[in-house]
Chains A and B, each alone.
Chain A
Amino acid sequence: MNKKIDFREVLQRSLVPIMFIVICAIGIPLSGLSVGYLANEIMTRMGRNIFLILSLLIPIMAGMGLNFGMTLGAMAGEIALILVCDWQIVGIPAMVLAAIISVPISIALGVFCGSILNQAKGREMITSYIMSFFINGIYQLVVLYMMGSIIPIRHGSIKLPRGYGIRNTVSLLSMRQKLDNLIPLTVGGVKIPVATFLVILVMCLFIVWFRRTKLGQDMRAVGQDMGVARDAGINVERTRIISIVISTVLAGFGMIIYLQNMGNIATYSSHSQIGMFCIAALLVGGASVDKASIGNVFLGVILFHTMFIVAPKAGATITGDSMIGEYFRVFVSYAVITIALVMYETSKRRKKKAAGRELQDLQGHGGDDLRTADLGTL
């Protein structure tokens, strides 16, 4: 019985990656893109995105699901970058300074987000999702109205002509790909951003280490069962807030790495889709709402971005209209998240039902009241 369920779970978990491998296998030859080009593109996108996606892992560990609120960290990172840009600091020091500035903003946002999520237990995902919109409103208020009027912004190149507010795009030419090119390495025509990967490696080691610490263990316990964790003397609320704070701070760093690769900030839209794409990529790598590993992140980035690169070209070859491919990749991103969420909820219900049945067997006929109550809450 147990083995059967295990097999089913394994199949379910690998369903999405297999689907993507098939899509990529069909799409790559159709798109007519050369292997070298593809390899280069994927390498760049790995460097750009992996750090951001890693920030999602810790809330999943704490049982808070996919943190759509990672956008909050991204916004903190952007604000820090805008400030650093205005102070005309260049290169790696600018990035480090931006990272340092982003930390307090991220922590404040993370604490706020975490405490709201504590009041919405059981629907963290939708709440964090709405949260990202809410904070986006505040972000616009700050960037569009306060910067230049209350927060001093000196340089006209990033300020709107009216005297306050930030322009639609802020150029990051002074730190463009400074991290990626810090240690230049090209293997067989493929440029590898060694320094970025080193940062990612450090991050991975941090996550592996963090899982083993007391706090990491607490988080896992909270993720398994809040009631049991509370009985064991863990401060559940605090642990959950910390997990969101860590995620937000990391997302801030991730956004800085992401933007140094892009070379400019789209002030009002860079962050809006970032949560969705990161979450989709993580899920494509075979993660689920309650379980995700570093391996999922890497596999996910490779598969998801391969699809992303080849879809428009492949779509154009099949239908003669490149827009179809564009829409297709957006559709796939959303569909993957939908499927993952549905699979998670159904398996959660199945587990609950199985637990209810076990309880029923244990109690025989004695616990009728409890049983109906239990089934009712399913």
Chain B
Amino acid sequence: MKEKLQAFFKSFGLPRLIIAGFLLLLLILAPFVGADLPTQISNIINRFSWNGILVLAMVPMVHSGCGLNFGLPLGIISGLLGATLSIELGFTGRLSFFAAILIATPFALILGAGYGFLLNKIKGGEMMIATYVGFSSVSFMCMMWLLLPYHSPNMVWGYAGKGLRTTISLEGYYNQALAGILPIKIGNILIPTGTLLFFALLAFGIWAFLHTKTGTAMTAVGSNPAFARAAGINVDGIRLLSVVMSTWLAAVGILVYEQGFGFIQLYMAPFYMALPAVSAILIGGASVNKASIVNVIVGTILFQGIVTMTPTVMNNAIHMDMSEIIRIIASMGMILFALTRKTEATR
């Protein structure tokens, strides 16, 4: 029994255990320090629905052995292009959300293909280069947001008449486009059913895909590329496909995030968005080359739980807002831990 327990701890990982324990502690403490538990739970569910798909975007690339997708901002850029163009073209209401997804798709496919092509050239160094591809694309788009000829008065700076604003309100466009579908209210808990269903749909899609022939090939490429090549699988092609999928999911993910949040954030906002998503999936039990849908769901709940719970509970308990620091240490510690595991370090 003891050995079994030890093996479980070992496979689960100490940092993960600490984080899960910490969240549990917060949940127990919450009522005692006067934080309203239903509101907290409602917040966690809400934030889960915003962020779930961004975390899901990690899965294909991890599966094909491309490592953690630190290049998430590239997909986010495609999503932002879709969002702004959809508004610029005059779509309103819920329709603008689906228009945004539709417009973002070709950008995600093209950028993702280029990104995947690059990653195939530099096998073994994916994560570092992915990080910098993300950074470069975000800072490049900073210039583009100013220069591209957008005209919609709801998006550009009022006095200059050109250049997009840093935050754009989605009121009248796709604010709560998904969350507004069939919301369920139980007491203080508000469940955004539409968003959760949309997440479930995509998650199921990925799960189903991973069980098709191509999906199995993807897992094979990730776990043993030499074997996969010997089995006649087009390794580079599969990797490219996984990167395109990840990029597209990131594009959709940011749109879902925005419909919940209510604003489009441009310029430097996507810069560090990869890190929370990366640490979320790792907290959920994924490793650098292994990830499942369960990891995504568990990880997002745990991570968002900590993000929402720490400020309120900590503030009420010790009148000190250390939440930001705890978040940094927990999430970065988790990524560090995952990077030091010996899982085919060099390929």
Contacts and interface: CB of A to CB of B under 8 A. Distances in A.
Interface of A: 116, 119-123, 125-127, 129-131, 133-134, 136-138, 140-141, 144-145, 319, 321, 323-324, 327-328, 330-331, 334-335, 337-338, 341-342, 344-346, 348-349, 372-373, 375-378
A116 B135 CA distance: 25
Interface stretch (B43-51, B186-194, B253-261, B324-332): B324-332
Contacts of A372: 226, 230
A256 B225 CA distance: 48
15 contacts: A131-B336, A133-B332, A137-B325, A138-B329, A144-B325, A145-B322, A327-B142, A327-B146, A338-B135, A342-B129, A345-B124, A346-B122, A349-B124, A376-B226, A377-B347
Interface in B131-183: 131-133, 135-136, 139-140, 142-143, 146-147, 163
Nearest to B327: A137
A209 B54 CA distance: 50
A373 B226 contact: yes
Interface in B290-347: 320, 322, 324-325, 328-329, 332-333, 335-336, 339-340, 342, 345-347
A141 B129 contact: no
A326 to B, nearest CB: 9
B160 to A, nearest CB: 9
Nearest to A341: B129
B226 A377 contact: yes
Contacts of B199: none
Nearest to B272: A133
Contact of B328 (A126, A140, A323): A140
Nearest to A135: B332
Interface string B224-239: 0111011000000000
B316 to A, nearest CB: 17
Contacts of A141: 322, 325, 329
A224 to B, nearest CB: 16
Given A141-B325, A334-B139, A346 B121 contact: yes
A136 B328 contact: yes
B125 interface: yes
A134 B340 CA distance: 14
Contacts of A133: 275, 328, 332
Given A342-B121, A376-B229, A330 B142 contact: yes
Contacts, number: 124
Nearest to A377: B347
B127 interface: yes
B107 interface: no
Contacts of B123: 349, 378
Chain B: interface residue count, which band?
A: 35 or more
Contacts of A378: 123
B118 A120 contact: no
B33 to A, nearest CB: 19
The 10 closest A-B CB pairs, nearest first, are A376-B226, A122-B346, A137-B328, A345-B122, A134-B332, A331-B139, A119-B340, A137-B329, A327-B142, A345-B125
B129 A338 contact: yes
Contacts of B275: 133
Contacts of A373: 226
Contact of A327 (B139, B325, B329, B345): B139
Contact of B118 (A126, A145, A342): A342
Interface in B56-100: 70
Contacts of B142: 327, 330-331
B197 interface: no
A323 B325 contact: no
Contacts of B18: none
B133 A338 contact: yes
Contacts of B24: none
A147 B170 CA distance: 43
A123 B132 contact: no
Nearest to A144: B325
A131 B334 CA distance: 11
A273 B121 CA distance: 29
B128 interface: yes
Nearest to B132: A338
A131 to B, nearest CB: 6
A372 B226 CA distance: 8
A330 B139 contact: yes
B128 A122 contact: no
Nearest to B324: A140
A144 to B, nearest CB: 7
A126 B329 contact: no
Given A116-B336, A341-B132, A376-B226, 13 more contacts: A120-B339, A120-B345, A123-B127, A125-B128, A129-B128, A130-B339, A136-B328, A138-B329, A324-B146, A327-B143, A331-B140, A375-B226, A376-B225
A209 to B, nearest CB: 31
B128 A130 contact: no
A173 B343 CA distance: 50
